[in-house]
Structure 1
Amino acid sequence: MSPKVLIIGAGQSGLYFGHQLLNQGVDVTLITGQTSTEIRNGRTSITQFSMPFTRALEEQAKLDLWQDSAPRMERVNMSLRPNQGPAVQFSGSFAGTEFGKRVGAHAVSVDRRVKMADWLEHFEDNGGRVVIHGITESDLDFFVGRGMYDLVVIAVGAGELGALFDPDPSRFSGAHDRVVTQVMLHDVEWTDPNGADVYSIDGGEVFFIPVLTDEGPATSITMLANPGALLDATGIRGRSAAAVLERMQDLLRQHLPDVYERLSGATVEDLVGGVKNGANSAIQAQFRPGVRNPVGWMAGKPVLGMADVVVTSDPVSGQGWNNSTYCAHVYADAFAAHHGPYDEKFMSAAFERFWVERGQHSAVFSEMVDGFWGGALPPHFGELVGAVMTNQAVADRWIGGFDDPADYARWMFDPAASRAYLAEVGALPPQ
């Protein structure tokens, strides 16, 4: 008899996991608070990427539904601008890792409203059971206490269900509090139609990302800031779409005037959704990243937390969907290989594999970004910064780390490994 699984949440991880279980012939029920129509017509969330690694997993799961319509990101163009001294500017491709070379070195970004609505409908079409209902702790206690499911997975980190999972002080996510302000616009100026642009100053970043929306390709402009830093856009009056856009334009005019020129003429009419529904494409949020214990308890029985529930990724590293997908992928593999009860031991082992293979490396990536501005990077990074601007192989491998953060540990952080790699590609400066 097939085991029965209940998934709470219809985001990237919950839907990917649900589809993978359906592919295994498992009886899956998914509970979510919104219909696919409500998702499509609702407010977007922080723009995420499917890097080459994640895109390959989605393709294998038959979930890459936008191959011919989503704009491709083959490169990331970086501009790091310290308060003093010259800017560090380079462009690298996702072919910077061996994996990227194998699967086709491009990333895509699909507006969450489009992606999750399509996946939810696809889940039902493939035989998954969907229940549209907000769920509380008492509801969950009923399902768990009655033993209606062999495994209960919580894939929604907000609200009271997220509080079931205690913080884990033994693991550091590498992340810090962030203020995120974002708009999605049509007709933004691009010089590289197959790239994403990242501008970074002390305490903040601005991402220009080509994204597929329900109105076709558009541009997501995402502004990240440490609280109180130069690009902190909090204090927007009324939180209207026009106010969010104007606040972003004002901060860019002050601190990144050349970047401001790219959207200086934008108005609320240029938002995805236009004057009528553009408010759904202009958002502001605050993140407090961290790591939590993957096992929660209800009615004396364990429930499994997944993805953002247990590891809240720092948006500065662009690892949100990568971590969510890989966590769900690991859990699905563990489920397929397991014989016996889905108990605390099973849950902890599945999460540990995700943490060792992906989670901890994403944490180091986030910490590296903050270290660049906080002066906490090791001395040999001076050689790396020089090499990344003059050697394309180094630039490609640096950007390839967005796809495979574990690669940074192989060549970047250890001085000896770093120098050996720079010598191998002819980028070691003369002594």
Structure 2
Amino acid sequence: MSPSPRVLIIGAGQSGLYLGHQLLKQGIEVGLITSQTSPEIRNGRASITQVAWPSTRALEDQAGLDLWRAAAPRFEQVEMSLRPPEGERVQFSGRFDADPVAKRIGGHAVSVDRRVKMADWLEFFEDQGGKVYIHGVTTSDLEYHVRMYDLVIVAVGAGELGALFDFDASRTSGGHDRIVAQAILDGVVWDGDHQLDVYSTLGGEVFFTPIYTSEGEATSVTMLANPGAALDTSDAPPRDTEALLGQMQTLLRENIPDVYDRIRGLGVGDLVGGANSMVRTRFSPGVRKPVAHINDTPALGMADVVITSDPVAGQGWANSTFCAQIYSDAIMERIHKGGAFDAEWMTATFERFYQERGRHAAVFSDMVQNFWLGQMPTHFGELVMAVLQYPEVANRWIGGFDRPDDYEKWMFDETAARAYLAEVATH
């Protein structure tokens, strides 16, 4: 291996472009393959909305990739509304900037339309000297690329390339299959300052997210449901924009009327960016093994390729960014210490990401699912009561969106949870 290795990244999503930029800054020769040009990305169909939580946004800022600092709507708060089938709703809010760590790095989150973000990052990557190749990649293409580059990283989780990486049945990324429908709209009703609003019911979840688009600020309305649940939109034709938006509104009117009121009267003419801003998809959470062998040469999978999380936990961009940062650090360490980018190194690099971030995000997803299955631990009711009584507990609960590893330190273990609540009560 040469002192300055050649790295090829396949995929121009959050993880691929973040890693590409980080390696370029270190003087590494980086090539990136994507099937779309930046105008095609910018004018294409929307993806499911993701959020850059404070620590994710801080990594982007540190990498010089916070390109919408003045434009993207910030939010410091999440409002949670839990709607059990019987009994009173549980409603509380928490702030990111209440956490000292988040406050130090700027305690706010942002959401930027993926089409804007990836198109801008791709163009910036080329401006910084990265090489971009526009074409699709098949398995047979990889046989050529693994011979030409010192390291090939696959950051495309769908299709033929994603299938090269075997599922790891011994691990979970949390949650279950989800049907997701989403509309990016202008004219959504807000009460006071914009924040992330989360409505959680037995039938599914609904997120209202302030989002920056090519046309300015808008609201992403995202509806998640288990297949067959009350908020499942599978009956509407996926490419019939009017029918899909209509079904979203009908299901909200029937199941969460006050949430429906926020988008009552909005139609396809209120979609920001037209029909391409309406999307429905299905997520199947799972973990894959991080190494695929192409003619006995290993390739490394990254982010969505190796871990697909339930979108209910909102960890998509966090997982992608932290995975890319860990991979970047591991690549530079390997270069400085010497040694090949072999399968053993690849497995260890992924393991570090999974232990530091991936497994915690999985626990977060399972927590939401288990809540509605009635499988939460016996002390969970005490936590809910404490959230309503103590702002400190509510802030820590919400802070877990940003740092899901914190949940196991206080929420899941009965002894630890009660000790924490007793400490809070003495303040």
Q: Which TM class, normalised by the smaller chain length? A: over 0.9
Residue 367 (structure 1) aligns with: 366
CA separation in 2, counterparts of 1:258 and 1:387? 26
- The 5 A counterparts of 1:73-222 are 73-144=75-146, 147-222=147-222
**Structure 2 contact 81–198 (Cα < 8 Å) conserved:** yes
CA separation in 2, counterparts of 1:33 and 1:238? 23
Q: Say which SS state the counterpart of residue 34 (structure 1) adopts.
A: coil
CA separation in 2, counterparts of 1:185 and 1:70? 16
User: Is 1:345 aligned to residue 347 of structure 2?
Assistant: no
**Structure 2 contact 238–279 (Cα < 8 Å) conserved:** no
Residue 326 (structure 2) aligns with: 330
CA separation in 2, counterparts of 1:355 and 1:238? 34
CA separation in 2, counterparts of 1:99 and 1:82? 33
User: Is 1:18 aligned to residue 46 of structure 2?
Assistant: no
CA separation in 2, counterparts of 1:92 and 1:133? 45
CA separation in 1, counterparts of 2:100 and 2:292? 37
**C-alpha deviations, 1:92-125, integer Å up to 9, x for none?**
1113544212211110000000000000000000
- 1:238 deviates by 6.0
**C-alpha deviations, 1:162-198, integer Å up to 9, x for none?**
0110001111111200000000001211114331111
| Counterpart amino acid of residue 39 in structure 1 | I
User: Is 1:279 aligned to residue 280 of structure 2?
Assistant: no
Residue 401 (structure 1) aligns with: 400
User: Is 1:378 aligned to residue 380 of structure 2?
Assistant: no
- 1:422 deviates by 1.0
CA separation in 2, counterparts of 1:238 and 1:19? 35
| Counterpart amino acid of residue 255 in structure 1 | N
**Structure 1 contact 8–30 (Cα < 8 Å) conserved:** yes
User: Compared with structure 1, are the counterparts of its residues 33 and 373 closer, same or farther at alpha carbon in structure 2 (3 Å cutoff)?
Assistant: same
**Structure 1 contact 97–401 (Cα < 8 Å) conserved:** no
User: Is 1:261 aligned to residue 300 of structure 2?
Assistant: no
Which of 284, 287, 305 is 1:309 aligned to? 305
CA RMSD, Structure 1 to Structure 2 (Å): 1.1
User: Compared with structure 1, are the counterparts of its residues 238 and 175 closer, same or farther at alpha carbon in structure 2 (3 Å cutoff)?
Assistant: closer
- 1:319 deviates by 0.2
CA separation in 2, counterparts of 1:421 and 1:67? 36
**Structure 1 contact 175–314 (Cα < 8 Å) conserved:** yes
CA separation in 1, counterparts of 2:345 and 2:104? 32
Q: Say which SS state the counterpart of residue 362 (structure 1) adopts.
A: helix
Residue 355 (structure 2) aligns with: 356
**Structure 1 contact 387–427 (Cα < 8 Å) conserved:** no
- The 5 A counterparts of 1:26-105 are 26-105=28-107
Q: Say which SS state the counterpart of residue 172 (structure 1) adopts.
A: coil
Residue 290 (structure 1) aligns with: 286
Normalising by the residue count of structure 2, what TM-score does the alignment of the two structures yield? 0.97
CA separation in 1, counterparts of 2:238 and 2:148? 45
CA separation in 2, counterparts of 1:227 and 1:236? 13
- 1:2 deviates by 1.4
Q: Say which SS state the counterpart of residue 424 (structure 1) adopts.
A: helix
Q: Say which SS state the counterpart of residue 148 (structure 2) adopts.
A: coil
**C-alpha deviations, 1:229-268, integer Å up to 9, x for none?**
0000111136322111111000000000011111111011
**Structure 1 contact 225–232 (Cα < 8 Å) conserved:** yes
Q: Say which SS state the counterpart of residue 219 (structure 2) adopts.
A: strand
Q: Say which SS state the counterpart of residue 175 (structure 1) adopts.
A: coil
**C-alpha deviations, 1:330-355, integer Å up to 9, x for none?**
00000011121100111011101100
CA separation in 2, counterparts of 1:392 and 1:307? 34
Structure 2: tracts of 5 or more residues without a match = none
User: Compared with structure 1, are the counterparts of its residues 313 and 71 closer, same or farther at alpha carbon in structure 2 (3 Å cutoff)?
Assistant: same
CA separation in 2, counterparts of 1:99 and 1:192? 27
CA separation in 1, counterparts of 2:196 and 2:116? 20
Q: Say which SS state the counterpart of residue 84 (structure 1) adopts.
A: coil
Normalising by the residue count of structure 1, what TM-score does the alignment of the two structures yield? 0.96
- 1:427 deviates by 7.7
| Counterpart amino acid of residue 76 in structure 1 | V
| Counterpart amino acid of residue 304 in structure 1 | L
CA separation in 1, counterparts of 2:154 and 2:45? 22
**Structure 2 contact 187–270 (Cα < 8 Å) conserved:** yes
Q: Percent identity?
A: 63
Q: Say which SS state the counterpart of residue 425 (structure 1) adopts.
A: helix
**C-alpha deviations, 1:181-230, integer Å up to 9, x for none?**
00000121111433111111103000000000000000000000000000
**Structure 2 contact 80–197 (Cα < 8 Å) conserved:** yes
CA separation in 2, counterparts of 1:216 and 1:241? 22
CA separation in 2, counterparts of 1:350 and 1:193? 41
Give the aligned length: 422
CA separation in 2, counterparts of 1:96 and 1:397? 8
Residue 246 (structure 2) aligns with: 246
CA separation in 1, counterparts of 2:237 and 2:93? 37
**C-alpha deviations, 1:139-161, integer Å up to 9, x for none?**
111222xx210000000001000
Q: Say which SS state the counterpart of residue 371 (structure 1) adopts.
A: helix
